[in-house]
């Protein structure tokens, strides 16, 4: 570690109490996606106080309709001379209905600590650090996709964030995901007495059942690692009424973006074929997908090395064999991204649970957050001070992106 890197690491240590306080305060607020008013204000105030130029509230843009939307709990805090290299740090701070059971309060504190430390280094270096406050990762309101499409990430060379977990991992593996808008596929038929005049009815539930069967047959013919899961949201009101309304929701996922687009087309066909068989109408409009990020192995190994120099033992890095999805993936399709997982709880801890919520306010949680902040700062600092390394990572990203199915990304 050179002297500036040690200075950043020491600064994060000196910020420990303040970062812990902020993490706990956001945990206590436990605000839902899009409603993180107190949490985002706390972070924006802290950035302002420490000399960052803060844009309070951002205007997002819908990627499919192009419509603008207000995102009062999103923000952009920048420090530096405005030129390149320019690195980004993402912060999340939304809670789930059962509180901060995904630990996004720690994502915010780690991102804050890392950005402040990079700001200190930038007093002596050319370049800029941009911290982007991204609301509603858990859904329910516009998030990173709208921020991305409005251009708030433009000009960044590389982006990082750190998410709490039961392990350390820098591989940033996520599945692309797409699902219908409006909470599902809607079928509309015709109600009738199910016993006295069934021939006059057209069952919307029949279409739902045919759809689910169609998906089951299709399941055999998708690539390994793809997923489809559905739930019947509305299956009619009573057995003696032929249901004139039924609704089924489905999530379609794949690590391969081309495969995701193919699956989306087949599931659309299955949905309309089910409507044809049941002689009912079908309403299906797809939401904009969350994509899996482009893989950048050199960036991942740099992050891992930085974590090791921040004190993480190599044995703490453990691979995953199961994956979720995140809107950070869309950022990782446009910019080299590390979505670092940092350990705050014993291996095997259930996530989105009472245990993970407690871990997000625990001593181990705070320690993990501090180490994660150092890891982000050291990784991005290496890129900013080693142009060859930055070039290698950007070239690797560009080469892999070309073969990633991303030509279909709009």
Q: Which residue is nearest to Zn ion (CB)?
A: 102
Nearer to Zn ion, 102 or 333 (CB): 102
- Using the contact rule CB under 5 A, the part of the chain among 97-105, 147-155, 198-206, 386-394 near Zn ion is 97-105
337-343 and 158-165 beta bridge pairing? parallel
Report in angstroms how near the CB of residue 156 gets to Zn ion at its nearest: 22
Nearer to Zn ion, 30 or 208 (CB): 30
Instruction: State the Cα–Cα distance between residues 328 and 338, nearest whole angstrom.
Output: 10
Q: Euclidean distance between the first and final Cα of the chain, in Å?
A: 41
Under the criterion CB under 5 A, does residue 162 sit at the interface with Zn ion? Answer: no
- Contacts of residue 118, defined as CB under 8 A and 6 or more positions apart, other chains included, come to 8, 79, 87, 89, 129, 377, 380, 381, 384
Distances in Å between the Cα of 297 and the Cα atoms of 274, 343, 397 are 43, 21, 9
User: Which tokens sit at 18?
Assistant: 């303040």
Report in angstroms how near the CB of residue 391 gets to Zn ion at its nearest: 32
- Using the contact rule CB under 5 A, the part of the chain among 102-110, 227-235, 311-319, 336-344 near Zn ion is 102-110
- Using the contact rule CB under 5 A, the part of the chain among 99-107, 128-136, 302-310, 401-409 near Zn ion is 99-107
Q: Token pair 């990304």 is at which residue?
A: 409
* CA angle, residues 51, 41, 287, in degrees to nearest 5: 115
Nearer to Zn ion, 93 or 397 (CB): 93
Residues in contact with Zn ion, total (CB under 5 A)? 1
Report in angstroms how near the CB of residue 351 gets to Zn ion at its nearest: 8
Q: Residues 135, 143: contact at Cβ < 8 Å?
A: yes
C-beta atoms surrounding 388 within 10 Å? 7
Report in angstroms how near the CB of residue 352 gets to Zn ion at its nearest: 8
- Using the contact rule CB under 5 A, the part of the chain among 19-27, 100-108, 153-161, 315-323 near Zn ion is 100-108
Report in angstroms how near the CB of residue 406 gets to Zn ion at its nearest: 24
Looking at the DSSP bridge assignments, the partners of residue 157 are none
Report in angstroms how near the CB of residue 405 gets to Zn ion at its nearest: 25
User: In the set 5, 12, 87, 102, which binds Zn ion (CB under 5 A)?
Assistant: 102
Given the rule CB under 5 A, which residues bind Zn ion?
Answer: 102
């Amino acid at each position: 570690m050179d002297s500036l890197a040690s200075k950043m690491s020491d600064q994060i240590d000196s910020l420990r109490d303040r970062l812990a306080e902020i993490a706990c305060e956001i945990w206590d607020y436990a605000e839902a996606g899009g409603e993180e008013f107190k949490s985002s204000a706390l972070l924006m105030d802290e950035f302002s106080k420490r000399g960052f130029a803060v844009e309070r509230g951002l205007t997002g843009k819908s990627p499919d309709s192009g419509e603008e939307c207000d995102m009062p709990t999103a923000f952009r805090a920048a420090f530096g001379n405005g030129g390149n290299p320019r690195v980004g740090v993402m912060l999340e701070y939304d809670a789930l209905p059962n509180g901060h059971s995904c630990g996004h309060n720690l994502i915010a504190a780690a991102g804050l600590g890392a950005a402040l430390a990079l700001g200190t280094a930038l007093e002596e270096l050319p370049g800029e650090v941009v911290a982007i406050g991204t609301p509603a990762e858990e859904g329910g309101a516009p998030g990173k996709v709208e921020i991305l499409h409005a251009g708030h990430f433009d000009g960044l060379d590389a982006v990082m964030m750190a998410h709490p977990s039961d392990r350390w991992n820098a591989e940033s593996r996520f599945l692309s995901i797409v699902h219908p808008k409006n909470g599902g596929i809607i079928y509309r038929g015709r109600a009738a007495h199910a016993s006295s005049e069934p021939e006059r009815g057209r069952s919307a539930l029949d279409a739902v059942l045919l759809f689910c069967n169609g998906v089951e047959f299709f399941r055999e013919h998708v690539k390994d690692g793809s997923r489809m899961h559905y739930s019947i949201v509305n299956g009619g009101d009573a057995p003696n009424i032929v249901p004139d309304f039924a609704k089924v929701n489905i999530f379609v996922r794949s690590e391969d973006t081309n495969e995701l687009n193919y699956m989306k087309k087949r599931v659309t066909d299955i949905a309309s074929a089910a409507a044809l068989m049941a002689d009912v109408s079908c309403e299906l409009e797809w939401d904009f997908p969350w994509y899996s990020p482009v893989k950048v192995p050199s960036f991942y190994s740099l992050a891992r090395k930085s974590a090791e120099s921040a004190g993480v033992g190599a044995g703490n890095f453990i691979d995953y064999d199961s994956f979720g999805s995140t809107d950070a993936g869309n950022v990782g399709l446009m910019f080299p991204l590390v979505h670092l997982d940092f350990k705050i709880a014993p291996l095997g801890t259930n996530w989105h649970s009472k245990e993970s919520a407690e871990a997000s306010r625990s001593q181990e949680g705070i320690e993990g957050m501090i180490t994660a902040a150092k890891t982000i700062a050291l990784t991005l600092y290496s890129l900013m001070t080693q142009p060859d390394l930055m070039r290698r990572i950007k070239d690797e990203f560009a080469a892999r992106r070309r073969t990633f199915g991303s030509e279909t990304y709009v």
